Amino acid sequence: MKRLLFTAVLAALVQLVCWQWAPRATSAPTNANKLKASADLAAKVTSGHGGDMVRVIVQRTAAWDSAAESELQSAGGINDHPFQNFPLRIITLPAQAALALSTRSDVAYVSVNREVRTLGHVSLTTGADAVRAANGVTVSGLDGTGIGIAVLDSGIDPTHTAFVDRSNQSRILASVDFTLEGRTDDPYGHGTHVASLAAGNGRISRTQYIGIAPNASLVNLRVLNSQGAGTTGWVLRALDWVASNHATYNIRVVNMSLGMPAVDSYQDDPVCLAVRALVNSGVVVVAAAGNNGKDANGTKVYGHIHSPGIEPSALTVGAANSFGTDARNDDGVASYSSRGPTRSYWNDDLGVKHYDNLIKPDLVAPGNKLIDAQALGNLLVTLHPELDAGVSPADGRRMMYLNGSSMATPVVAGAAALMLQANPTLTPNLVKALLEYSAQPLAGFNPLEQGAGEINIDGAVRLARLVRTDLNSGTPLGAPLLIADSPLPQSTIAGYTFSWSRALILNHTYLSGAELLGSYQLIYRAGSLLSDGVVTGDGVITGDLAMLTPGVVTGDALTTTDGVITGDGLAVLASTALLDGSMLADGVLLGDGVVTGDGVVTGDGVVTGDMTLQAQSATVGGDDTSCMDVQIDDGTDCLDY
């Protein structure tokens, strides 16, 4: 089968303060005409349901104007929601009319407004404690202060003790409901747990359940309803809100512990395009990989990364299993954590699917059976009382178990907040690069399972402190990147010393070499992608010397079994084989881009997330009976955090 090799090259650079819709990749085969409608919309029409009213997301090729609005109304469309920052509309109209709309020259893409669902000792085992302490003494300052983290989830319980600062003032700066339920608390229970993993304080049980950035500010954007479900439109409205308000609340990080079926290519998926616009503006977007790493029989499966985790600019996170220990020598990738490559696709006019096949996730973080804040009277604990961790009987101090990539994602979001506090000038690309470069490769797991490895906050923050603060759009390729010599590429956490990956995972390959730290690479600037420095063609992957300095090595194989990314171990997949359609054909190794298995997808393709996985277990639904130790709270606030 013909290899589908293409390079998504960013067509325009976007300045840090400029909002611009992400440009489309121009690398599609020239002999194929790309259909501009999502497969599920086309299927509805071809199955005889063209008269059904559907809510779709229409992307324009230019700004939405009054003429386009009038033409839409004449076609029978109802404009459900406009956007301030993105050239798109959510529209209700007959399916046949929506499909016809996609053929217009001024329409870029039409997709269905799909349903969205959630996907589900931390500070010590991730290295967060190491960056807050020196010689056993707490170091004031590096706790996320001043950095805003927007949490797109099921809400945050504002009465929980975990979300106040040292002056007993709430750190939730703003709360907005997009679900139409008219509330911003957390009746479902997922968002409160997520927010506390990223930024919960250490008051309860003497800091045993402290978040990664315990004094960061939180922005509560409720996109999942009381049942834990949402829509693509709600997520887009929240991202639009971030685009308009990120400066007001200094939102530098967005956490998306949720997902939807990865059907449309990242080049067309409206949420991916919104994520790209945010990243281009300087906001780090952290997304869950998903929890579809095994099928109903427990067999490992590949190719089930959720959207928006399929977006190259997003920092996509899988779940690691720490087995309840602080040391990292026994850590592994949780069996349920979704593996790459991405299987989102676009169709040509002959009906042939062209898959993205990107390497994801970017890294993994602890996500198995974590204990953190429990929202008052939430549905998850009501249905599954065993999720209550028994830490405290007092409202506002209760803790619960949850697991999944949903829990791993806020660990990385909190880490990004610490890095940005240490060096506010970091671009999202540098945050991503430093996290990957300092990650710990986990032996026995390939990059389609772990990306660059398990998060190492100690190493990432050390590197963030060393990056020059005067980098800008005019910094030339090859200029010094650090203000001092590169540190020894290893960390010691909980008595265990490990080496860093010293590599960056890209779309279809990896980069390595001392030049990644020694010299400034243009792939680090705002408006670029890390993968912009790679040229792919005819089965050969090379570095683009206009973006990368000599000495940066572009890999031609992904090394796995000995835990080394760029060493001489067994290559699980050569880069060319990864892109070979015969290896990734429908029904052979992977599915067709629609999430399957585990009982986490309903008959209509709606993702139901990691809460379903938990419901399948008699305990808390994780990989192993090992979990975080329960430390009973005595009701006294601990302020030593």
Point out the residues that are catalytic.
Answer: 153, 190, 406
Interstrand relation of 534-537 and 540-543 (parallel, antiparallel or unpaired): antiparallel
Long-range contact set of residues 49-52: C-beta below 8 Å, sequence gap at least 24: 49/95, 50/94, 50/95, 50/96, 50/99, 51/94, 51/95, 51/96, 52/94, 52/95
d(CA 368, CA 118): 15
Tokens linked to 240: 């639009």
Tokens linked to 97: 């009319």
Asked if 315 and 284 count as a contact pair (C-beta separation under 8 A), the reply is: yes
Q: How buried is 510 (Cβ within 10 angstroms: 0-12 exposed, 13-18 middle, 19+ buried)?
A: buried
d(CA 338, CA 291): 5
Angle between helices 232-245 and 270-280 (to 10 degrees): 10
Interstrand relation of 315-321 and 284-288 (parallel, antiparallel or unpaired): parallel
Nearest by Cα to 72 from 210, 80, 624, 11: 80
Read off φ and ψ for residue 441, nearest 5 degrees.
-65, 130
- State the Rg of the chain over Cα: 23
Residue 105: how many other CB atoms lie within 10 Å: 7
Strand, helix or coil at 134? strand
Strand, helix or coil at 317? strand
Asked if 487 and 462 count as a contact pair (C-beta separation under 8 A), the reply is: yes
Tokens linked to 300: 């490992």
Question: CA 110 → CA 106, 405, 638, distances in Å?
Answer: 12, 29, 52
d(CA 607, CA 306): 9
Tokens linked to 459: 């190493």
Q: DSSP states of 353-381 as a string?
A: EEE------SEEEE-SSEEEE--TT-HHH
Q: Give the full edge-to-edge strand order of the sheet including 53-60.
A: 78-82, 88-94, 53-60, 107-112
Rounded to 5, what percent of the chain is helix, strand, coil? 25, 25, 55
Q: How buried is 343 (Cβ within 10 angstroms: 0-12 exposed, 13-18 middle, 19+ buried)?
A: buried
| Count of all residues that appear for the chain in the document | 641
Read off φ and ψ for residue 235, nearest 5 degrees.
-65, -40
Read off φ and ψ for residue 194, nearest 5 degrees.
-60, -50
Give the Cα-Cα-Cα angle 171, 176, 177 (nearest 5 degrees). Answer: 135
- Quick one: which H or E segment has residue 605? none
d(CA 254, CA 184): 17
Q: DSSP states of 539-556 as a string?
A: TEEEE-TTTS-TTPEEPS
Read off φ and ψ for residue 301, nearest 5 degrees.
-130, 155
d(CA 127, CA 398): 25
Residue 588: how many other CB atoms lie within 10 Å: 9
Asked if 118 and 609 count as a contact pair (C-beta separation under 8 A), the reply is: yes
Amino acid residing at 187? P
- Quick one: which H or E segment has residue 44? helix 39-44
